[in-house]
Amino acid sequence: MMSPHPIIFSLTDHGQKLGKRIQQSDPSAQHLHRPPHFRAKVEHCFIQGHPLVMICATGIVVRTLATVLQNKYQDPPVLVLDDQGQFVIPLLSGHEGGANEWGRQLADQLSAQLVLTSHATYTRPCYVLGMGCERGTPLSTLESLVETGLHLHQLTFAEINAIASIELKSDEDGLLALADKHQWPIHFYSAPTLRTYDAQLTQRSDIVYRETGCYGVAEAAALACAETKTGTKAELLLAKIKNKQATLAIARAYLKPEVTL
Task: Tell me the fold of 7-114.
Answer: Rossmann fold (3.40.50)
How many C-beta atoms lie closer than 10 Å to residue 229's C-beta? 23
Q: Where are the domains of the chain?
A: 7-114, 125-254
pLDDT tens string 65-111: 999 998 877 889 999 999 999 999 999 987 777 888 888 889 888 88
Sequence-separated (6 or more) residues with CB below 8 Å from residue 151: 2, 3
pTM, to two decimals: 0.56
Q: Which residue has the higher pLDDT, 71 or 239?
A: 239
> Tens digit of pLDDT for each residue in 138-172?
999 999 999 999 999 889 999 999 999 999 999 99
Q: Is the pLDDT of residue 4 over 70?
A: yes
Q: What is residue 194's predicted lDDT score, i.e. its pLDDT?
A: 96
Task: Answer with the residue of higher pLDDT: 254 or 135.
Answer: 135
Average pLDDT value over all residues in the chain: 90
Given this structure, which CATH class describes domain 125-254?
alpha beta
Q: 119 pLDDT band (50/70/90 cuts)?
A: low
Cα 87–chain centre separation: 22
How would you class 189 by CB atoms within 10 Å of its CB: exposed for 0-12, middle for 13-18, buried for 19 or more? buried
Between CA 203 and CA 201 the distance in angstroms is: 5
User: Helices 99-110 and 13-25 meet at what angle, rounded to 10?
Assistant: 100
Which residue would you say has higher pLDDT here, 73 or 126?
Answer: 126
